Amino acid sequence: MYIVVTGAAGFIGSNIAKALSARGEYDLLAVDDLKQGDKFVNLVDCDIADYLHKEDFERELSSGNLDGAIAAISHQGACSDTTETDGRYMMQNNYEYSKQLFDYCRNEEVPLVYASSAAVYGAGREFQEDPACESPLNVYGYSKFQFDQFVRRNWPDRTGQVVGLRYFNVYGEREQHKGRMASVAYHFFKQYLADGKVRLFEGSGGYGAGEQRRDFVSIEDVVKVNLYFIDHPENSGIYNVGTGAAQSFNDVAVATVNACREHQGGKVLDLEELQRLGAIEYIPFPADLKGKYQSYTQADISALRGAGYDAAFLSVEQGVSRYISKLLKASKS
């Protein structure tokens, strides 16, 4: 029987597919839309049994051809562009598609672990898995919020495991295809290699330059959380996936630049020293992001801990350094 990974050629989906295949789960059905063909590189080292285009997968589900053939679904496929304004497109991809998978899993008694997002919280200051804390700022966040609400409404009718994972700011390997939606760590790395400096936003939302704070979480930890729930089908719920500790964009910049400097034989420097050298500079806050930008996020992970996940999370200093080292190694190959 297949373990299905949707969005399998994407950032999080491909890391999950890689982790599953690395531990011997060879009956993997990869589902994606390769209209952006360069994403294929994320699947090259994943040992998958079959690949289906997203629309073909939907037809196979509707026809009943996959009934009895699926052991679990890891649903990571979505449009994750927070600046996308086509609400019809966003809702079709992120909401209607997810509802179809939920109905299939309910009918077939198949576990479903799906990707939600911290974008559901908007500009709030409380990040608990509670509708009272949820107020998305863009249609991407709304699409994720609305599916979480659908899951909540249909909770009594589920027949097996249903887990929603609200990812905070994820960074790590296999995100190179994401363009402007790649993590700030990735963008800082590319900027530093090209120009010898990184650029952060000036102050906004009551925060100083580069001091806006997010819960930055490594893809390594995101994968571990996903595998935990795949391995524990007795657990269901909606859970935040973050470190539980907000850190500044300045912290990410310092970790990125110092990882590059160490690789070049340079000295590790603090924020003030890097600012003085011109390795960190600040640019005006974009007008099109005003009122649509989360200046602060910090996951409340008490529910995740209550579900039995007790592994430590990598800090920015640990995770970004490891990530940049891998990017540097790949750039030399």
Catalytic residues: 140, 178
Q: Which amino acid is at 290?
A: K
- What whole-number distance in Å separates Cα of residue 16 and Cα of residue 79? 18
Q: What is the DSSP letter of 203?
A: -
- 102 half-sphere exposure, CB direction, 13 A CA radius: 22
DSSP assignments along 258-293, one per residue: HHHHHHTTPPP--HHHHHHHTSEEEEPPPGGGTTS-
Q: How many angstroms separate the Cα of 323 from the Cα of each of 186, 192, 318, 329?
A: 9, 15, 9, 10
Buried (b) or exposed (e) across 41-65, using 16+ Cβ within 10 A? ebbeebebeebbebeebbebbeeee
